[in-house]
Amino acid sequence: MKCTHVESGPASMLARAALGIGAVTVVSGASQAAAPGLVLKLVGAENSPATRQLFGTVGMFMTITGGLLTHSMLCRQSMRLALFWSVLQKAGAVGAVAIGVRRGVFARRALAVAAFDLLSAAVLAAGLGATKLPKHERSQR
């Protein structure tokens, strides 16, 4: 797959933001998958074999979703599809963290993670509404 550089202009700002969000999601997801116990300790959650397993699994999905977003932004392939699913992932993460805090599974400081995901979802949703389909995607509609 041929990848291109990110261009300049207003659309470029959204593409660069999406690229950054994707990269941060890959790094945070990979960290969570590789060291779920450490991340659980940082967010003040229960650190048991079950929670480490589930947190590691969630980290793997974050890595994949972030990778999809990053790759599609770099290669300009299926950008709207990647943006759409990334918005859903980020919005779902906000809800899951908020529920975890409300249930006492996570400390309130975990809401900082939810705040980042909420901001990320908003930026990506704006990009979804503003991004023009690549030429190859327009011809398939």
DSSP 132: P
pLDDT digits (tens, 9 = 90+) for 89-122: 889 889 888 888 888 888 999 999 899 999 999 9
Give the model's pLDDT for residue 59.
Answer: 92
**Tokens 């704006």 label which residue?**
126
Single pTM value for the model: 0.66
Instruction: State the pLDDT at residue 3.
Output: 61
Cα separation, 17 vs 58, in Å, equals 23
- Reduce the DSSP state of residue 77 to 3 states and report it: coil
Residue 106, classified by CB atoms within 10 Å of its CB into exposed (0-12), middle (13-18) or buried (19+), is buried
Domains contained in the chain, number = 1
Tokens of 45: 């959650």
Residue 141 counted as domain residue:
no
The answer to the question of residue 137 being in a domain is: no
- Domain span including residue 109: 11-131
pLDDT per position as a tens digit, 1-47: 456 555 566 668 888 899 999 999 999 999 999 999 999 999 999 99
Confidence (pLDDT) at 40: 95
For residue 140, being part of any structural domain is answered with no
